[in-house]
Amino acid sequence: MISTRKLTISAMVVALYIVVLYVTQSVSFGAYQIRIATSLYALAYAFPFLVIPMGIGNLISNFLFGGLGIFDMVGGFGVGVVTTGIIVGMRKLGLSAWWVMLPIVFVPALCVPMWLSPLLGIPYWPLVLNLIVGQTIPAVLGSVLVKALMNRPSVAALLGAFK
């Protein structure tokens, strides 16, 4: 059963993802993507129920601001779900929150070019390298965010409410 608290947090995080992407859209699309909103993927480390909502946030954002159609929307949903799913798995394995940087960088960098390359007419591997560079900033921000949140007593109490 999904609790009201989980739904509320999920809706707030999806809305935050969309707002952050809107504010940073000038650097969030194209060959170099410094998509600051993907730093929010790290929140799945603390809140595992955010896997699907993060995919939904990406899908809605690509619909509203991306302009590349259904492949970008569905692909963005998949990348959001896979990235946050890996992050949840890392937490279950007992890995530190610093490890969330890896999926935030490499899942989008390896997957997004699968549809962006043909849509933009840019070769796959140069696009991968561009995305690795662009995703580094959100990856670091996400790790710092989740480490800071996990050390707050109020978040610890909230996490205890979900167990």
pTM: 0.92
Q: Which residues contact 14 (CB under 8 A, 6 or more apart)?
A: 53, 54, 56, 57, 60
Q: Which residues contact 50 (CB under 8 A, 6 or more apart)?
A: 9, 10, 13, 43, 44, 84
CA atoms of 83 and 41, how far apart (whole Å):
7
Model confidence over 9-18: pLDDT tens digits? 999 999 999 9
Model confidence over 40-75: pLDDT tens digits? 999 999 999 999 999 999 999 999 998 899 999 999
Model confidence over 130-161: pLDDT tens digits? 999 999 999 999 999 999 998 887 776 776 66
